[in-house]
A and B are shown apart, each in its own frame.
Chain A
């Protein structure tokens, strides 16, 4: 009974009848507990939309999404918030930090919403800040930070609560390669040591190669799946590049 996430025949339409956009078109897949899945696709292929419906920020037009047997498309109100608070960690394409709070407070807020005690809070924040190399910006406000720093703070906020599933939308999009690597290694650590399940949207093959499986989508449909199996990261990276070429190299700049 390893299925943590079960996406079943979901569809998401935008717009009116006359100008309908099928952002997701009959998509199904399953993610096992402890998997690290990357989702790749061209710009406009529906990646962000997929992440939004899984994270319950948006609602599907039809179909079901189960997490631990719970149909999250049916969750409402405070159950929804409880679910988000306790099961999910988010990292968004736009950094989404609260502009009135310092980096430290932004990270701490995720913990205090979960009612973590003040004593645990400090070392947890410091710990994660060290791992993401943002110790020196902890007392800065978002407007005083670079994009990369902001994204690392957002990442720190998402992982500090040790969530069951981490949902990341282009998490490395605005990181330099060093901190991207640091973030991804942290993802691996979470995945391997803490058995956290990670679902990450990316257009970057290098980033995707850290995953244990890559799902390619095109026009809102499943295009191909790749399992890492016993391959090392480098071999997996080359496999991914092959599929990307097959897709037509449209992935460049899919932000």
Chain B
């Protein structure tokens, strides 16, 4: 009997449940998909280092999944509390008819059980289908070729999903039982009255609170953007975050009162069509949901920042890789280390290594028994120089003190890397970078690490004259020029001083480079070659001779791909969960009020409002409700993203715009989807 009753209840209140149900199914499906990612890669032909990264990624995703299950758990409990509240009257009637509380709890138990089972079955089914599409994405990321399509079902992930969601549903059951056993009959029956008290907040208080909140928020924004260099410790960021959270709450609280007041004071607007009705509806709703609105706003904010940061990292990494690792390999070895014996000893180099540091890269490889040039189709050999006579103290010149005050943590006495213009041009030609010409008395600084570029530009703008091996040189450009010599995955070139060839004193040779492209093109053959080079480390001679260190495209690529895949997946995973959670809360709130709204809209029809007017009013009402937290979150995000970009500057900013666009598409799709469904369901209910 009870079993039947709960089944009936679910089908009857499907309109209320539909969006909750949809959210659960989506939650389950996404949980499954991201925990099944590794099984998607099993049939792919990925390298062993990629395999390791995938393992690491799965561990990270597991951790994230725990966090995700907390969020979904809260969402489910919130939603079921909400749905119980809506049904208080129904339970009240059961109680007056003499049904025991235990039985009502049992009804709820069965309902949760049904919903749980069905959402798990459909969710895992949907997840399995989505996983197949995910394989395409995974293959694309790890640049594996998906030769043949294999249908994959991950038992491990399915089991994990069942266990995690099972626990969540169990908690909901316990929670429901507690709620039912505590409630009083009179409250249950009385809760049907819609006569919610409507209190207008004191407008002056609202204005004052709003101003205070704006000031707090402005201060927090300032702290994380223009004043960001004062945040030296990780814990320093907590203060502006707390300020932001409090300010968000206060702004929503005060705006909920002010919006109504402001629109009421503009009668031309307020008394136009159904505006007065729409605004009242909105303000009564937001008045009762200030806390939820704050949480939703913050979740949206985190989603926007996190997702755009993740996508920026991913996009930049891929773009950087193409630009910053343009050739197959670059090897270098330190020269003339005995000049700075103590310095290098301090780094742990052996006596013999230092003594033997007059051998160039190609000869050094020969000592280890390998003729490296034989493997290159084309290559160049270049040198860099360094001297105590030219450190950052010197290049910054008269601007040194100013910079020391501003950035006290930089080591200004590191020797600058010096390069001949002819050598640099060779490198530039190889890498596809811009080439330069220099007059006898000119120099250029090549750099791409954003914050050092800024510091150096100050000196360059001041036309600082430097002395290199007794030659006075003046800057050719008032700005650092883009370029690098060491290949890497990020913009980390802190500066190379490029000078006319005749300036150089060969005694100060610091590093010898060999840069080139291999003869072999095939990925597997390159891997084999580099394995052979890496194996040289096992050669016993390494204690006496310094094996040249290398940056290779293959290595950088492997590391980049893995990292960018990890970042992307975590970003999308959390992004979707946050978005569906916040959108679901809004949708539930809106839809559960549809029965009250139904009466109101019937009334409007009786007054002669036509369908167009009514639909417009409904659309606006829901739109404002959805847009309100989003707009505030967007404002937060402008500053949040600025802050994130400050931290992530090594990745470069070029890709920020496209990442923001992608994030926007993402939000429009999910959040907008929920909005549309809510609108269509509400329209259906008030019909």
Q: Which positions in A face B, CB cutoff 8 Å?
A: 55, 57, 77-78, 81-86, 88, 90, 96, 98-101, 105, 108-118, 121-122, 141, 143, 157
Contact = CB atoms under 8 A, between A and B. Distances in A.
A113 B280 contact: no
Nearest to B276: A105
B374 interface: no
A18 to B, nearest CB: 24
Contacts of B610: 77-78, 81-82, 85
Nearest to A125: B271
Interface string B187-229: 0000000110110000000000000000000000000000000
Contact of B267 (A96, A98, A121): A121
B606 A118 contact: no
Contact of A112 (B271, B284, B606): B271
Contacts of B600: 98-100
A118 B267 contact: yes
The interface centre, meaning the residue of A84, A99, A100, A117 with most chain B CB atoms within 10 A of its CB, is A100
B222 to A, nearest CB: 40
Nearest to B608: A85
A113 B281 contact: no
A90 B608 CA distance: 10
Contact of A113 (B268, B273, B611): B273
A55 B605 CA distance: 11
A111 B611 CA distance: 17
A254 to B, nearest CB: 23
Q: Determine chain B's interface SS by DSSP, over half rule.
A: helix
Given A101-B277, A109-B607, 18 more contacts: A57-B606, A77-B611, A85-B607, A88-B608, A90-B606, A98-B277, A99-B600, A100-B284, A101-B280, A111-B271, A112-B271, A112-B272, A113-B604, A113-B608, A115-B273, A118-B272, A121-B267, A157-B607
A55 B608 CA distance: 11
B284 to A, nearest CB: 5
24 contacts: A57-B606, A77-B611, A78-B612, A81-B608, A82-B608, A83-B608, A85-B608, A85-B610, A98-B277, A100-B280, A100-B281, A100-B284, A100-B600, A101-B276, A108-B271, A109-B607, A112-B272, A112-B275, A113-B273, A113-B274, A118-B267, A122-B267, A143-B195, A143-B197
B251 to A, nearest CB: 23
Nearest to B606: A90
A224 to B, nearest CB: 31
A110 B272 CA distance: 11
Nearest to B268: A118
Interface in B602-622: 603-613
Nearest to B281: A100
Interface string B587-612: 00000000000001001111111111
Contacts, number: 87
A121 B271 contact: yes
B607 A110 contact: yes
Contacts of B607: 84-85, 90, 109-110, 113, 157
B277 A109 contact: yes
Contacts of B281: 100
Contact of A81 (B274, B275, B276, B609): B609
A108 B274 CA distance: 10
Contact of B198 (A57, A84, A86, A100): A100
Instruction: Across the A-B interface, give the 6 residue pairs with the lowest CB-CB distance, nearest first.
Output: A85-B608, A81-B610, A84-B608, A143-B195, A100-B280, A118-B268
A77 B613 CA distance: 12
Contacts of A100: 198, 277, 280-281, 284, 600
A112 B608 contact: no
B6 to A, nearest CB: 29
A119 to B, nearest CB: 8
A90 B275 CA distance: 21
A111 B268 CA distance: 13
B270 to A, nearest CB: 8
Contacts of A101: 276-277, 280
